[in-house]
Structure 1
Amino acid sequence: MATAGKVIRCRAAVAWAPGKLSVEEVEVAPPKAGEVRIKLVATGICRTDEHLLQGCFPNAEFPVIPGHEGAGIVESVGEGVTSMKPVWRILLCLPLHLHGIDFMTNLTPPSALHSIKYKYLRLLHSISEPQHLLPDKTTQYTVAKIDAAAPLDKVCLFGCGFSTGYGAAINTAKVKPGSTCAVFGLGGIGLSVVMGCKAAGASRIIGVDINKDKFAKAKELGATDCINPRDFQKPIQEVLTEMTGQGVDYSFEAIGHKDTMIAALASCNMSTGVCVMIGELDSGSEISIDPTLLLTGRTWKGTVLGGWKTRECIPKLVSSYLEKKFNSDLLITHTLPFAKVNEGFELLRAGKSIRTVLLF
């Protein structure tokens, strides 16, 4: 591209402190050795971005340019980069594989994962023209080449939201045909879980949310039942146990609240149930549980990006989308120009959007 090797000026959504974003111009230098510069085309607004803006991550430094769910085109590469080439279409992916470490199969200290994630959030996008990605080996694990036919304004969700929820059901829980599932939280990730449970052949999928406006979309995507905890006088885990007879086979917490995490675990079959935590608590939060919830046989586990090995699996997931094996487009409720980024966040906070995509 004509901009290769040059300093460019572009717009960025910058948070100088927790709160509102300011759209302004920033300078981006040419990529150094091991770096890649990307021209972003579209990005989804994820709940994690909102957590960052509200100051929920104490290790995150301001000012910060949030965003991690982008799709774009490689503009230029730095010295020594052989895995990426200009004009390739790519997705930005959380760095689950860093310097040969597989976060899916190795015990990595939480502080290490957190520091990687915050570094990623600080350097990545909400930029309308090319911008730096992470340097050195990290570039290799945070950029995935995808099919040139993929619509970037649709598959940007695969950089986080859709992949996380869908993979939580397919990879982490390994939902079996004929099983019963409960999904706590029917936002973008929770609805992606619903889609994953349906694809895995679950016979009953119960959506749980206090926002009844999300029920129609959940049923469209595969939920067989939808319930509002506020409609009952008893704990929701007791309601689910009564509905299913002995508790669900699989439960998923896609909200990030202490009480719903405990409720999701308690709603599982006491002997064989599997509960998957997806939602993010504020950093430093702790949960107290009755140990008998686990001693009786339940399994409690977490997931990061749905258990996908990003660089090799996300392109395959995009190919499945192109083959119409699922319709993740239904998750996109709003599409806005980049200048309306704050409007996108307001829609999220008000519970009026599932996924808002910003176009650059």
Structure 2
Amino acid sequence: MGGRQATVDRGGGGSASAGHGGARQDPLHLALPHRRLLLGGQGIYRLKFLDFASIIESVGEGVTDVAPGDHVLPVFTGECKECAHCKSAESNMCDLLRINTDRGVMIADGKSRFSINGKPIYHFVGTSTFSEYTVMHVGCVAKINPQAPLDKVCVLSCGISTGLGASINVAKPPKGSTVAVFGLGAVGLAAAEGARIAGASRIIGVDLNPSRFEEARKFGCTEFVNPKDHNKPVQEVLAEMTNGGVDRSVECTGNINAMIQAFECVHDGWGVAVLVGVPHKDAEFKTHPMNFLNERTLKGTFFGNYKPRTDLPNVVELYMKKELEVEKFITHSVPFAEINKAFDLMAKGEGIRCIIRMEN
């Protein structure tokens, strides 16, 4: 914001200010991911959380893509539109704004825009959405249809789009094909939804928790496999069910064994496996080279291969046209005053997404 620095009093000695090259937003709705805790220290205090929808309150000097009053989805990864990745039709891994869990400051000047009692509070993966106001690089906000309800589309700024895009953009299942989805958490359910939208005729959910199976039917799953119910590798079970293997698989757990199974269960000649889950840093992926020579394809994906600013508005339009049923992902909604209830639900793994309403 250059010489027009703006500071918002958040009470208790805290403040959030908009700086050069940033966009400050008035957050309205926060989606709390279930089955995943985003708490814990990294040596410094941070404003955390990801899934979010908001309205631009003010913009910094030189920001022209968005303006006060615009409805946006803040995203943990960005799109500068200038680097080789942004200019490539095949990549969404922006050189400038790719997710960085260690940075904690604004790119322009290396400083935080948050403080409490004079001490800095650092940014979290470029979003810091657990706040009434946040400051972000303009490349990390996607301008969306102002008619889209923010208390619904807020869930599209992270995990749901990741799973959806993994199927639609990366696996690309042909109409009438068979797809296996490993892991039926929120991202896996979104992958199943993506396979449904793409026209897959069989969607096989693979999970160790059978209580998720009935819920997964709402997202297009037609069959289910619990690996614990079989005395043979699950890839063999799937091959027997599908006359040699599935056409596509999407792995959403991050478990290295599930990743190997997802690859080895696809049909030779044309099968494609897509890895979405993030494995342990020391995990090793081991499979026989013949699995590749027999023309199976293994792919990885980041945020469903969506370019945030370019593609997320189109994902929102899928919802507006009733082609994407976002409401199925929202199992709870609470005001900020009941946030402890939301954390309890998350800790118990109950539900998919809980909306926290930032009400005055």
Among 10, 14, 19, the alignment partner of 1:26 is 14
Are the structure 2 counterparts of residues 9 and 292 from structure 1 closer, same or farther at C-alpha, using a change threshold of 3 Å?
farther
- Greater Cα shift, 302-311 or 125-134: 125-134
Structure 1 residue 109 displacement after superposition: 11
Kindly provide the amino acid, as one letter, of the partner of residue 68 in structure 1. Answer: L
Kindly provide the amino acid, as one letter, of the partner of residue 334 in structure 2. Answer: L
Asked if 1:125 corresponds to 2:131, the answer is no
Asked if 1:274 corresponds to 2:272, the answer is yes
Secondary structure of residue in 1 paired with 2:218: helix
Are the structure 2 counterparts of residues 345 and 257 from structure 1 closer, same or farther at C-alpha, using a change threshold of 3 Å?
farther
Pairs within 5 Å for 1:1-360: 6-10=6-10, 26-29=14-17, 31-46=18-33, 50=37, 53=39, 62-98=44-80, 100-101=82-83, 102=85, 105=90, 113-115=98-100, 119=104, 121-134=124-137, 139=138, 141-341=139-339, 343-360=341-358
8 Å Cα contact 2:49-2:130 kept in structure 1: no
Secondary structure of residue in 2 paired with 1:87: coil
| Identity across matched positions, percent | 36
Kindly provide the amino acid, as one letter, of the partner of residue 28 in structure 1. Answer: A
Q: Structure 1 CA distance, aligned partners of 2:23 and 2:78?
A: 18
Q: Structure 1 CA distance, aligned partners of 2:231 and 2:13?
A: 53
8 Å Cα contact 1:215-1:226 kept in structure 2: yes
Structure 1 residue 283 displacement after superposition: 3.8
Q: CA deviation digits over 1:300-328, x for unaligned, max 9? A: 11111211222121112212211111211
Q: Structure 1 CA distance, aligned partners of 2:258 and 2:310?
A: 33
Secondary structure of residue in 2 paired with 1:333: strand
Q: Structure 1 CA distance, aligned partners of 2:142 and 2:35?
A: 21
Secondary structure of residue in 2 paired with 1:222: coil
Structure 1 residue 340 displacement after superposition: 4.5
8 Å Cα contact 2:142-2:313 kept in structure 1: yes
8 Å Cα contact 1:46-1:355 kept in structure 2: yes
Structure 1 residue 118 displacement after superposition: 5.6
Instruction: Show structure 1 runs of 5+ residues with no match.
Output: 12-23
Superposition TM-score, scaled by structure 1 size:
0.84
Are the structure 2 counterparts of residues 295 and 287 from structure 1 closer, same or farther at C-alpha, using a change threshold of 3 Å?
same
Q: CA deviation digits over 1:264-301, x for unaligned, max 9? A: 11111133210001111234543333333222211111
Q: Structure 2 CA distance, aligned partners of 1:261 and 1:74?
A: 40
Q: CA deviation digits over 1:208-266, x for unaligned, max 9? A: 11222211121122111022111212221111111111010000101111111111111
Instruction: Show structure 2 runs of 5+ residues with no match.
Output: 105-122
Q: What's the C-alpha RMSD, in Å, of the aligned pairs?
A: 2.8
Structure 1 residue 106 displacement after superposition: 5.4
Superposition TM-score, scaled by structure 2 size:
0.84
Structure 1 residue 339 displacement after superposition: 4.6
Q: Structure 2 CA distance, aligned partners of 1:162 and 1:108?
A: 18
- Greater Cα shift, 293-302 or 116-125: 116-125
Kindly provide the amino acid, as one letter, of the partner of residue 91 in structure 1. Answer: L
- Greater Cα shift, 75-84 or 250-259: 75-84
Q: Structure 2 CA distance, aligned partners of 1:292 and 1:327?
A: 40
Are the structure 2 counterparts of residues 143 and 191 from structure 1 closer, same or farther at C-alpha, using a change threshold of 3 Å?
same
- Greater Cα shift, 120-129 or 160-169: 120-129
Kindly provide the amino acid, as one letter, of the partner of residue 311 in structure 1. Answer: R
Secondary structure of residue in 2 paired with 1:352: coil
8 Å Cα contact 2:34-2:345 kept in structure 1: no
8 Å Cα contact 1:94-1:117 kept in structure 2: no
Are the structure 2 counterparts of residues 221 and 348 from structure 1 closer, same or farther at C-alpha, using a change threshold of 3 Å?
same
Q: What count of residue pairs does the alignment treat as equivalent?
A: 334
Are the structure 2 counterparts of residues 187 and 118 from structure 1 closer, same or farther at C-alpha, using a change threshold of 3 Å?
farther
8 Å Cα contact 1:69-1:160 kept in structure 2: yes
